[in-house]
Structure 1
Amino acid sequence: MRKTMETAAIATGRLANIALWVAGAGLVAMTVMIAAQVFWRYVLNNSIVWSEPASVMVMGWFIFLGAAVGIREGYHLSFDVLLYVVPDAVKKLFHTLSDIMVAAFGGGMVFYGWQLAERAAHVQLPSLGISGAFDFAPIVGGGVLVVLFSLERILRRLAGLHTSRFGDTETAEA
């Protein structure tokens, strides 16, 4: 199992890097769109009608992709005061319970995000000319990555591999 998880960790690491690059490109694209909108509005006295809804859509992607990668790397929000006083075995149990809860939250993102997308699929976004389902695609995509990365953390821990948790003193067993 350990060798399989090491291979899987390489694949999910590459996926996380791709997600970070896409998120970074989205941040740059959103900044360019907003800057162009400001220039058009205040200098050219005109408006780019698609810039605001497109920027919000791109923002959704870079937020959810970045959050998913943060979960993989252990940078998500946690309340860990108790972890300083419990034995290592209990720490691992608490980390695993946390990862299970995060995976369940990601599953909820996928399930409810998909329902929202289905309900908005018949609506056309007037300024972009695309289906309203695209507004909810970042929730579904981010949720899929949250579930995947949380499950990876759980399986890596079970295989005795380090899980790269920020501030974590957990070590892998040989």
Structure 2
Amino acid sequence: MPAPQNKVLHWADEQLGRLAGLFAVLGAIGVCVLMANILIAVFWRYALNDPIFGIDDISVLVLAVVAACSVAYGARNNSHVAVDVITKFFGRSATRYTDAVMRLMALSITGLAAYALWTKACGFEEACITENLSIEHTWFYHFLGVALLFYSLHLLVQLFTGVVHWRGEDPNEIGD
């Protein structure tokens, strides 16, 4: 039977996996909507010679949703770029410390970015609406903030998992 902290971390990791699946589904829907939007825009512009007013605004907002989903899903599935040079020279004894420091720094950056997107994203009135249709960006900034909060929670679980497995191999590390 796993230790209580392992059980809690396993549960949290499992819930983050489920949320990442929701981000993946939403991102896939967003990509399909973006593709349809572009096809419609191109058809109307070149076949019918009548561009649709404001279709670029829709593309920008859907792309913001896709980007947010990509950040969250990519964090969960280790699809962000990582270069592991320290392990080659110093081994696991050094990466225990560097991983913890890196996760704390990344956690603080993503947490601060999520907070800023939620509270201060629309500081300038001109930056808060789309160009043609004047659709507010606020909700899309909030969604990106939620995605970065998800990334922060994922980093927090990775940090605690690394601490629990301090003496052994870190299950968060990507294998060769």
TM-score by shorter chain over 0.5: yes
Paired positions, count: 167
Residue equivalent to 1:150:
155
Q: 1:92 to 1:24 in 2, by over 3 A?
A: farther
Q: 1:22 aligns with which of 26, 34, 40?
A: 26
The CA deviation at 1:92 is: 2.5
The CA deviation at 1:126 is: 6.2
DSSP 3-state at the match of 1:85: helix
Q: 1:77 aligns with which of 78, 81, 94?
A: 81
Residue equivalent to 2:137:
132
The CA deviation at 1:121 is: 9.4
| 2: CA distance, partners of 1:121 / 1:3 | 48
Residue equivalent to 1:61:
65
Residue equivalent to 1:172:
none
Q: 1:38 to 1:50 in 2, by over 3 A?
A: same
Q: 2:94 aligns with which of 90, 93, 96?
A: 90
| 2: CA distance, partners of 1:60 / 1:124 | 13
Q: 2:174 aligns with which of 166, 170, 173?
A: 166
Q: 1:52 to 1:139 in 2, by over 3 A?
A: same
The CA deviation at 1:93 is: 2.1
Q: 1:123 to 1:59 in 2, by over 3 A?
A: closer
| 1: CA distance, partners of 2:128 / 2:70 | 28
* Identity over aligned pairs, percent: 20
Given that 1:103 and 1:147 are in contact with CA atoms closer than 8 Å, whether structure 2 keeps it comes out as yes
- The AA in structure 2 aligned to 1:166 is I
**TM-score, length basis structure 2:** 0.81
| 1: CA distance, partners of 2:152 / 2:57 | 28
The two structures, once aligned, show a CA RMSD in angstroms of 2.4
**Structure 2 spans left out of the alignment, 5+ residues:** none
- 1:116 and 2:115 correspond: no
**Structure 1 spans left out of the alignment, 5+ residues:** 169-174
Q: 1:57-112 CA deviation, whole Å, 9 max, x = no partner?
A: 11122222212222233332233212212131322222222222221221232133
| 2: CA distance, partners of 1:51 / 1:167 | 44
Given that 1:123 and 1:131 are in contact with CA atoms closer than 8 Å, whether structure 2 keeps it comes out as yes
**TM-score, length basis structure 1:** 0.82
Given that 1:68 and 1:145 are in contact with CA atoms closer than 8 Å, whether structure 2 keeps it comes out as yes
